[in-house]
Amino acid sequence: MNKIHIIFTLLMLIMVIIPGNSGARDFLYHHPRIMTGGDIGLFRISLDQFEEVYTNRWGTSYGGFAGVRFLGGYYIVGKYGQFEKSGKQGAHKDTGYNLQNASWQEKWYQVGLRVHPPIVKKFNSYYGFGLSFFNVDEVDSLSVFSTQNGNSQNETGSGFYMELGLEYFPTEMLAAFFQFEISSGGIRGKTGFEAMSIGGYRLTAGISLWPL
């Protein structure tokens, strides 16, 4: 947790320092109407019980987003992401089944607000926040939450997210970005905060397009 907080703090400092010291304008004042992009990175799930069944909390995560400007520098954004993990070696503490047959497949869909400055300089930063909607598939007899009938179990939940990003624009219509995101969500009656959350920390890199 301390390492995550250090990364988060450094990212915030970089986003404050670089855009403010990048010199004169590199582009004309430009506020595109549409943005879209994709990313790949690492996700760390917050759920405390996760390592009782699965190998560890970290894993590769893929995602994408699209947004439409509706006022000034404010964009309505829709986002998608996923995270998968396989079971560790050993037997389940309740059922005795082989944990290597466990499978965690998590997807999330998010809708929120992103605050983005006009594309004036090659370096930019942004932030956003909104709602998260989660979908999790796992084998119920090898579940983190319960052990019932051995069938695949599908669960849904909801929560929120916050994001911070840093971009580099080689052209006005294309950017490479780094992003840090925190999300929280609960299923099966869980609160969705901290140790009970199926959300977590996500650090990604990606490409965004600004066609209009």
pLDDT tens sequence across 28-71: 888 899 999 999 999 999 988 899 999 999 999 999 999 999 98
Q: What local confidence, expressed as pLDDT, does residue 196 receive?
A: 76
Burial class (CB in 10 A: 0-12, 13-18, 19+), 12: middle
* pLDDT class of 99 with cuts at 50, 70, 90: very high
Q: What's the pLDDT at 111? A: 98
- Quick: pLDDT tens for 172-198: 899 999 999 999 988 766 656 656 789
b/e burial code for range 142-181 (CB count within 10 A of at least 16 → b): bbbbebeeeeebebebebbbebbbbbebeeeeebebbbbb
Rg of the chain's alpha carbons, rounded to an integer? 19
Percent of the chain with pLDDT over 90: 59
Burial class (CB in 10 A: 0-12, 13-18, 19+), 139: buried
Residue 20 pLDDT > 50: no
Nearest one of 7, 3, 5 to 204, comparing CA atoms: 7
Q: Which residue type occupies 206?
A: G
pLDDT at 21 over 50: no
pLDDT of 4 > 60? The answer is no
Average per-residue pLDDT for the chain: 85
- Report which residue type is found at 202: R
Which residue from 114, 144, 117, 139 is spatially nearest to 129, judged by alpha carbons? 114
End-to-end CA distance of the chain: 40
**What is the set of domains in the chain, with CATH numbers?**
2-209 (2.40.160.20)
- State the pTM of this model: 0.84
Rounded Cα gap, residues 121 and 24, in angstroms: 8
